[in-house]
Amino acid sequence: MKKILFSLIFAILIKYASAQGCSDAGLCTAGGLKPIFFTNDSLKSSLNFSLNFSIGENGTNIITPQFEPLVKVNENSFIQFKIPYLIINGNLGSSKGISDVSINYNYKFDSLIKYKLYLTCGVKIASGSASLKTDGICLPMTYQTSMGTTDFLGGLSLEIAKGLSVSLGLQVPMFNINQNKFDSAAFLYFKNEKKINDNQNYFISSKLKRKSDVMMRIDKTFAFKKNNISIGILPIYHLGKDKVNTTSLNNVLLSGSQGLTLNFNTSLNYKISDKSAVNFILAFPLITRKSRPDGLGRSIVTGISYKYVL
């Protein structure tokens, strides 16, 4: 069974790893919406450290160290904090800094229905205005450490059978301080200065106004003696066309920015002791939106995390 499972994962990876667009703005790994929380030690305070590597637009390399403490409130609830730091390198230059911080509250209902049900609600707080520059010219969103919006996060996660969970979530931008100014004139400057080609252009994102996202996450976990393997699909639907402001026009609707992104994700969780565990993740898109001005397009995401239970 394990050989078949890993062969299937490898075959899918080879076929689709060149696609673009994971497009997770923070909702998909919030609190109880992740299958890792359907474990016996899920409601204990813990310290979590992760290091992710992903490939964005035009081969941009993105490294994300993250501190992720989980604080138990009572037997049925916990608060999760996510404090990421981004290190970005690409053909236009590099950038780094604290990214948007997330805080979410999670409550487990035991008596409403037969299966475990988690309610998640929280907020992702903008750490900046998405206006980082190089050579005095604003970089595209791929290089920005902040989305420039403060968003509401909410969702429900249900364990419908042993090892099988389904999550539904909504992410809504509430306050927009995005002051990005990347447009066709900025690309022309980079094209001349950095000697890049027309086909290496980035999506226009000048004063981006991003629409909301809804997501569904379906995960199946296979449990073994000291580890478990989780495999799932993650559709994210962008509810409307994003808007940008150019030097000549305001509130331009971006064709192709609305629609579906479908991701494949898998993880391996290994229990070191009763107090600690490591987790390895792999994710990549199968279906993407044509236009991704938010800069969240990823061809692949990999990572490792360490959890210490207090």
d(CA 131, CA 139): 7
What's the pLDDT tens digit per position in 206-228?
Answer: 999 999 999 999 999 998 888 89
Work out the average pLDDT over 137-162.
93
> Could you tell me the domains of the chain?
2-309 (2.40.160.40)
Whole-model pTM: value is 0.89
Residue 16 is given by DSSP the state H
Residues in a beta bridge with 287: 262
Asked if the model's pLDDT at residue 16 lies above 70, the reply is no
158 φ/ψ sector (left φ>0, alpha ψ -120 to 50, else beta): beta
> Tokens 């950038």 correspond to what residue?
95
Neighbours of 123 (CB within 10 A): 18
Residue 139 has what DSSP assignment?
Answer: P
CA dihedral 302, 153, 258, 284 (to 10 degrees): 10
Assess whether pLDDT exceeds 80 at residue 112: no
Per-residue pLDDT, 18: 36
pLDDT tens readout for residues 267-309: 999 999 989 999 999 999 999 999 999 999 899 999 999 999 9
Tens-place pLDDT, residues 169-207: 999 999 999 999 999 899 999 999 998 888 889 999 999
Strand pairing report for 77-90 and 227-238:
unpaired
Smallest Cα–Cα separation from 108: which of 157, 64, 150, 60? 157
Task: Name 123's bridge partners.
Answer: 103, 152
